[in-house]
Chain A
């Protein structure tokens, strides 16, 4: 069975694009000009760095991507499917011959190959394994608290970077993450909502969205199924209204350089990403997906060899993307990574294809990547009982490396986001500057309230712990519209750690923000109140 390829959706999408040319005159989208200024400032703490994630959907055959061509076992297991003319990586490894773009970038030191990335007790279901990669779950049996995480690893990161989102008071001027396509992925799911928006054509998107009045509704009763879903739809409509114009403006402010291949769906998506980055959008994460890697039959044979087309398209598109960024002068702040739910079985099957497997290489691409091969060649003489590779690196080690080295997340926070301490790999050449709380005076800290979420009826109150360097200190609670609800502390305080109880007798259920200010620092966090 082969999974749906992108061609189908792009043809279908064309139907809509061709129908909307005459519907609306654009007019300006509502902006939240009255949002408290502190919230906006807090949001501008980004590094300016951009991560592009490319999902190879269906399970990429790692052994035919980074080919261990000197290993006789490889040729025995793969038979006619074995690659005999790879492009050189080193003495024992080579790229699939279609990957000329990657060959060039690797030789320039701009690609890191992380070999044998996987996880213990591998799951061979597309859906379950994709979820594991998206969420950073383990696959423990019996399950533990981190086996079925229902938010994404990047969603959690964005949650921590933009506390309170989608509160208009803390909503930045740019989308937190953009997925080029029609749907959003579990990888970008935050604790309470999706942190990414799906866009295909920024121009058309803007033309349709503008002019929609989404105001006037009473807050839905989220204790009912209908209210929960209405709230979800309204959040998407709000997100669309908020971001249609900045996204369109960024995309239209610049034209791609003429470096891309034609008829390449990965390139078409990356072209949009490059325009948004170079056009001034401050979005830190982009996600695209390439379909068709579930190569059970005729993997790389026939009139249009599938794996050749997939890897050639991927490699050429990514090389062109970085060429484009370089001409824009934006390449140094962009890194790209690939992931796939699993590799494929070491031995070819009876239909010139490969079945679901386990560990496989991941790629990290960009000028700031420390290029090279991380890890050993696949141990084809030491397969598991189903004939699959054993993993050498847990994929969460690469996630920890991205969070810490690329986004400047502190190791302790990285461990919280990834549910454990994962040893990092030195994938990036330098740590970002200006993040990690530099400039915050010693002794200033605002902790997460406890318990959170908390129930007014059951618990009465929640406790907020904070530390102040002393002097004028203010701690206030805001509602989701940015209006002041309660001032808990406002006056001179002694240096040290303090605790305050917050007992909201008559507040509606929902998300609230609390903000600590001292003479030289401020921090905002969010809490969830339930009746």
Chain B
């Protein structure tokens, strides 16, 4: 694999002085990523001005997409197995890491990408027609929305050994919606169902399915979009946020014409409810012909009497490589690192196009690759609230049925399920961590260790039980090292390790450490609190 060079440019790919493609920060965001290589950018601008000779650019990760095989330098150990699991699940349970180490990395990836048994929700209202009930301020539907959130949280907490829930969240972020706008929990349910069923499915088909999904028709005003009054909202975001990136291959006139192609689709009325309001099909939308603009449109240079599905075919044909790169870059940023390596993206995009837009081969190649398992990428992902909080619960073998509180905590940390901050989804990456958010994370992490949240049923770590099955829990140093190997993605310095040892022993001599001593549980809690406050613990 070629040595790769990195450079930022918000303007898209450019060819650098080396003649190779240079990493560009995609138009769909990543300011903070761009800042990382500010100094490099400054270098480049200097060289572009001709002020001095070009200099060699620093590299980050050089390995490519060939399959990773364990070596002495890159062993298949707790750290590396835990890394794979933390990226593809919400945190890694110890038992899962141990199981993974009995198999090859490729076998574990295959297990993670296999189709699990479809989960069955503990409710069935999603199959009934939706209607709004004025008489009780729609309390029933509000409760249903919470049902859905609780169930989803439970699926993350008690997930199968599968990437399905991680991908479901990924897609719900890619096609971000806000429940306060969508309002109908039935529509939210089937929107999520679409993502869960197609978690590694066909991207082009998903774009089509989303376009005519009731949730998206409501959220981005598609149901208002008629030939009499075209509404640009969805047309713009379809291109800007879902397939191409801001300004990448379309014009304002393309948006206006695309909006006309999308006219006529709306939610499907089915009758009248017991309280006199309209009822709606919970799952399927409909095209109302006299609202459709039945005339020619010109989109991306093609002219015809296009409808919604034609529009998507046009985007995927005219800008095939751009769409492929756009979604592969987004997958890369979610699963590897925020700053995409454009030559890796090009290779992944080729795989996606060669497989007729199926996502699974792309993810399989990526997750099995030397590039993914490169030591430099381990710990490079800033955890989302879901990864941090649910991940900590799972890593510490904490069990609870209080999924409502987990949902509330993740909301307070900035990630409220089904309620993205806006149509662009969660900005993620460094936005997950600010001074105030760091404080909030430390606060809820302490609660997990102490089990003292105000919500009931309370839940927290069982410290002695947790460490008793480690390799040598009565050896303080070995116990700490085992804990770190299982839950922290990066190695500690000697000084950090000694500080953690002090937290555990609190002045007692090391040889006296024994988990059966009175008060041992308190000492272990002090240690775990310090571990979860490590900056390293914010990463995965």
By a beta-carbon cutoff of 8 Å, the part of chain A in contact with chain B is 1-5, 8, 12-16, 18-20, 22-23, 123-128, 131, 143, 145, 147-148, 150-151, 181-184, 186, 189, 191-193, 197-200, 204-205, 208-209, 212-218, 223-230, 232-234, 236-237, 239-240, 243, 296-297, 349-351, 355, 386, 451-453, 455, 457-459, 528, 530
Contacts and interface: CB of A to CB of B under 8 A. Distances in A.
B439 A350 contact: no
A229 B440 CA distance: 19
Contact of A15 (B60, B337, B380, B411): B411
B434 A197 contact: yes
Contacts of A18: 454
Contact of B539 (A128, A230, A237): A230
Contacts of B533: 212-213
B408 A15 contact: yes
A458 B55 contact: yes
Given A151-B35, A205-B439, A216-B498, A230 B181 contact: no
B437 A198 contact: yes
Interface in B405-455: 408-409, 411-414, 416, 419-424, 427, 430-431, 433-440, 442-444, 446-447, 450, 452-454
Contact of A189 (B35, B41, B60, B416): B35
Contacts of A233: 382, 433, 438, 535, 538-539
A230 B536 contact: yes
Interface residues of B, number: 102
A324 to B, nearest CB: 23
B221 A226 contact: no
B111 interface: no
Contact of A451 (B51, B247, B337): B51
A350 B31 contact: no
A145 B29 CA distance: 18
B38 interface: yes
Contacts of B3: none
Contact of B438 (A2, A148, A240): A240
B246 interface: yes
A455 B58 CA distance: 10
Contacts of B414: 182-183
Given A200-B436, A205-B439, A217-B496, A226 B411 contact: no
A147 B375 CA distance: 35
A148 B228 CA distance: 37
Interface in B336-359: 337, 339
Counting chain B CB atoms within 10 Å of each CB, the highest count among A218, A233, A455, A530 belongs to A233
A14 B427 CA distance: 22
The 6 closest A-B pairs by CB, nearest first: A350-B229, A148-B10, A225-B380, A224-B376, A216-B495, A198-B434
Interface stretch (B232-240, B277-285, B461-469, B511-519): B232-240
22 contacts: A4-B422, A23-B443, A125-B247, A150-B8, A151-B35, A151-B38, A186-B31, A197-B434, A198-B434, A204-B439, A205-B436, A209-B442, A217-B535, A223-B60, A224-B380, A226-B379, A230-B490, A240-B435, A296-B221, A296-B231, A453-B42, A457-B56
A1 B55 contact: no
B288 interface: no
Contacts of B36: 228
Contact of A192 (B38, B43, B231, B339): B38
B117 interface: no
B178 interface: yes
B436 A1 contact: no
B224 A297 contact: yes
A451 B39 contact: no
Contacts of B38: 150-151, 191-192
Nearest to A235: B535
B434 A229 contact: no
B461 to A, nearest CB: 15
B192 interface: no
Given A236-B434, A240-B439, A3 B376 contact: no
A214 B240 CA distance: 41
Nearest to A450: B51
Nearest to A386: B252
B65 interface: no
A225 B376 contact: yes
Contacts of B51: 451
